Structure 1
Amino acid sequence: MRSATRTELHRETIALFASGVLWAVPPLFFVKGGINEILVIWSVLSSLAAAAALVLTVAPLGTMLFIAVLGAALSAMAFNLGLTMLASANIVFTMMLAGMAFLSGKRFIDSMVSDQALTEKKEVVSLLLREFEDTGADWLWQTDAARCLTHVSPRFASALGVELAELEGKQLLRILAGESWEAGNFASGLRELAEKLKRRESFADLILPVKIAGATRWWELSASPRFDDRGAFLGFRGVGSDVTAQRDSADKINRLARYDTLTGLPNRMMINETLARAMQHAEQWRSQCGFMMIDLDRFKAVNDTLGHPIGDRLLSRVAERLRQLMTENELCGRLGGDEFAVVLLDVRDQSRVDALAHAVIEALTRPYEVDQHTLYIGASVGSAIGPRDGRTAEMLIRSADLALYRSKDAGGGKHNCYEPQLHANAEERRTLEIALRSALEKGEFHLVYQPVVSADDSAIEGFETLLRWTHPEMGVIPPYKFITVAEDARLIAPIGEWVLRTACEEAVNWPSTVRVAVNVSAEQLSDPNFVTAVISALSHSGLPPHRLELEVTESVFLREGTGAIAILDQILGLGVRLALDDFGTGYSSLGYLRKTQFSTIKIDRSFVQGAAKKSAESLAIIRAVVAMADSLGMTTTAEGAETEEEFEMIRELGCTKVQGYLFGKPMVAEEARKLMVRAQQRRAAA
Structure 2
Amino acid sequence: MSDPVSSSQVAQSNLSASAVLGFKNRGDAEWVRLRGLQFSALPSQTIRRVYAHGIMAILVAYLYFSHIPIVWLVGWLAALVLINLRGTLFDRSLIDTDRRSVEAAEYTRQTITSVVSGMLWSVPILFFAPLGTDADMAALLVITGMLVTGAIVFYPAAPASVAASTFILGAATITHLVLSELWVLAVASTLFTITALVGSITVGRTFLLARLAESNLAEKEEVVSLLLREFEENEADWLWEVDTNRRLRSVSPRFAFALGLPQAAVEGQSLMQMITQPDCGPSDYAPSLRELAESLKARENFSNLIVNVYLNGRERWWELSGTPMRDERGRFIGFRGVGSDVTEKRESSEKIAYLARYDTLTSLPNRLQVHEALGDALRYAEKWRTRCALLMVDLDRFKAVNDSLGHMTGDKLLAQVSARLKAILGEGQMCGRLGGDEFAIVVRDASDGDKIDLISQKVIAALSEPYEVDQHTLYVGASVGSAFGPRDGDSVENLMRNADLGLYRAKDKGGGEHCRFEPALHATAEERRRLEASLRTAIHGEEFVLHYQPVVDARKETIVSFEALVRWNSPEHGFVSPGKFIPLAEDTRLIVPIGKWVLEQACLEARKWPEHVKVNVNVSPEQLLEPDFHQDVIKAMAASGLRPERLEVEVTESIFVRDAATARNSLEKIMALGCSVALDDFGTGYSSLGYLRTLRFSTIKVDRTFVQGAAQNSNESLAIINAVVAMAKSLNMTTTAEGVETAEEAELIREMGCDKIQGFYFGRPMISDEARRLFKRHPYELKVG
Deviates more, 1:410-419 or 1:109-118: 410-419
Aligned residue type for 2:289 = L
CA shift for structure 1 position 98? 1.5
Aligned to 1:324: 420
| Partner SS, residue 249 of structure 1 | helix
Aligned to 2:533: 486
Aligned to 2:165: 66
| Partner SS, residue 544 of structure 2 | coil
Identity of aligned residues (%): 44
CA shift for structure 1 position 144? 4.0
CA distance in 1, matches of 2:531, 2:218: 86
Alignment of 1:266-281 (within 5 A): 266-276=365-375, 278=377
Alignment of 1:531-570 (within 5 A): 553=572, 555-556=573-574
Alignment of 1:63-462 (within 5 A): 63-78=162-177, 90-129=189-228, 132-133=231-232, 135-181=234-280, 185-227=284-326, 233-261=332-360, 264-276=363-375, 278=377, 289-294=388-393, 314=410, 317-327=413-423, 328-329=425-426, 330-336=429-435, 339-344=438-443, 349-351=448-450, 353-354=452-453, 357=456, 381-386=480-485, 389-390=488-489, 393=492, 396-404=495-503, 415-419=514-518
**2:238–2:338 CA contact under 8 A, matched in 1:** yes
CA distance in 2, matches of 1:270, 1:124: 52
CA distance in 2, matches of 1:193, 1:251: 22
Structure 2: state its 5+ residue gaps: 1-36, 42-94, 547-569, 582-785
CA distance in 2, matches of 1:220, 1:560: 49
**1:301–1:561 CA contact under 8 A, matched in 2:** no
CA distance in 1, matches of 2:527, 2:267: 86
CA distance in 2, matches of 1:283, 1:227: 57
Aligned to 1:14: 112
Structure 1: state its 5+ residue gaps: 430-478, 498-523, 530-550, 564-686
CA shift for structure 1 position 248? 0.7
Deviates more, 1:101-110 or 1:15-24: 15-24
Q: CA 1:343–1:323 in structure 2 vs 1: closer, same or farther (change >3 Å)?
A: farther
CA distance in 1, matches of 2:316, 2:517: 49
**1:262–1:312 CA contact under 8 A, matched in 2:** no
Q: CA 1:175–1:354 in structure 2 vs 1: closer, same or farther (change >3 Å)?
A: same
Aligned residue type for 2:432 = G
Give yes or no for the alignment of 1:527 onto 2:544.
Answer: yes
Q: CA 1:182–1:25 in structure 2 vs 1: closer, same or farther (change >3 Å)?
A: closer
- Superposed CA deviations along residues 195-228 of structure 1, whole A, max 9, x for unmatched, are 3344443333333332323321122333334455
Matching residue within 43, 57, 60 for 2:156: 57
CA distance in 1, matches of 2:515, 2:118: 115
**1:292–1:343 CA contact under 8 A, matched in 2:** yes
Alignment of 1:16-35 (within 5 A): 16-27=114-125
CA distance in 1, matches of 2:506, 2:278: 57
CA distance in 2, matches of 1:561, 1:233: 69
Q: Which protein is bigger by CA-based radius of gyration? A: 1
Aligned to 1:604: none
- Superposed CA deviations along residues 345-397 of structure 1, whole A, max 9, x for unmatched, are 56574455445546666887899999999999986543223455455655543
TM-score (norm 2): 0.48
| Partner SS, residue 172 of structure 2 | helix
Q: CA 1:557–1:491 in structure 2 vs 1: closer, same or farther (change >3 Å)?
A: closer
CA distance in 2, matches of 1:144, 1:286: 59
CA shift for structure 1 position 120? 3.7
CA distance in 2, matches of 1:391, 1:233: 60
CA distance in 1, matches of 2:260, 2:300: 28
CA shift for structure 1 position 480? 8.8
Deviates more, 1:356-365 or 1:159-168: 356-365
CA distance in 2, matches of 1:382, 1:228: 72
Deviates more, 1:356-365 or 1:177-186: 356-365
**1:323–1:332 CA contact under 8 A, matched in 2:** no
Aligned residue type for 1:486 = A
| Partner SS, residue 369 of structure 2 | helix
| Partner SS, residue 219 of structure 1 | strand
**1:79–1:87 CA contact under 8 A, matched in 2:** yes
**1:33–1:81 CA contact under 8 A, matched in 2:** no
| Partner SS, residue 194 of structure 2 | helix
Q: CA 1:73–1:386 in structure 2 vs 1: closer, same or farther (change >3 Å)?
A: same
| Partner SS, residue 306 of structure 2 | strand
CA distance in 2, matches of 1:115, 1:183: 46
**1:140–1:237 CA contact under 8 A, matched in 2:** yes
Higher relative contact order (CA 8 A, sep 6+): 2
CA distance in 1, matches of 2:345, 2:322: 21
CA distance in 1, matches of 2:474, 2:538: 32
CA distance in 1, matches of 2:247, 2:124: 73
Count of aligned residue pairs for this structure pair: 456
Q: CA 1:261–1:134 in structure 2 vs 1: closer, same or farther (change >3 Å)?
A: same
Q: CA 1:480–1:350 in structure 2 vs 1: closer, same or farther (change >3 Å)?
A: closer
TM-score (norm 1): 0.53
CA shift for structure 1 position 302? 10
- Superposed CA deviations along residues 459-511 of structure 1, whole A, max 9, x for unmatched, are xxxxxxxxxxxxxxxxxxxx999655534xx42346xx6xxxxxxxxxxxxxx
CA distance in 1, matches of 2:109, 2:512: 107
Deviates more, 1:115-124 or 1:84-93: 84-93
**1:301–1:559 CA contact under 8 A, matched in 2:** no
CA distance in 2, matches of 1:562, 1:289: 28
| Partner SS, residue 207 of structure 2 | helix
CA distance in 1, matches of 2:513, 2:115: 114
- Superposed CA deviations along residues 25-63 of structure 1, whole A, max 9, x for unmatched, are 455567669993765665544443333222220111211
CA distance in 2, matches of 1:560, 1:38: 122
**2:420–2:462 CA contact under 8 A, matched in 1:** no
CA distance in 2, matches of 1:51, 1:128: 44
CA distance in 2, matches of 1:283, 1:144: 56
**1:141–1:152 CA contact under 8 A, matched in 2:** yes
- Superposed CA deviations along residues 611-653 of structure 1, whole A, max 9, x for unmatched, are xxxxxxxxxxxxxxxxxxxxxxxxxxxxxxxxxxxxxxxxxxx
Aligned residue type for 2:316 = R
CA distance in 2, matches of 1:177, 1:371: 46
**2:421–2:431 CA contact under 8 A, matched in 1:** no
CA shift for structure 1 position 65? 1.7
**2:321–2:339 CA contact under 8 A, matched in 1:** yes
CA shift for structure 1 position 254? 0.7
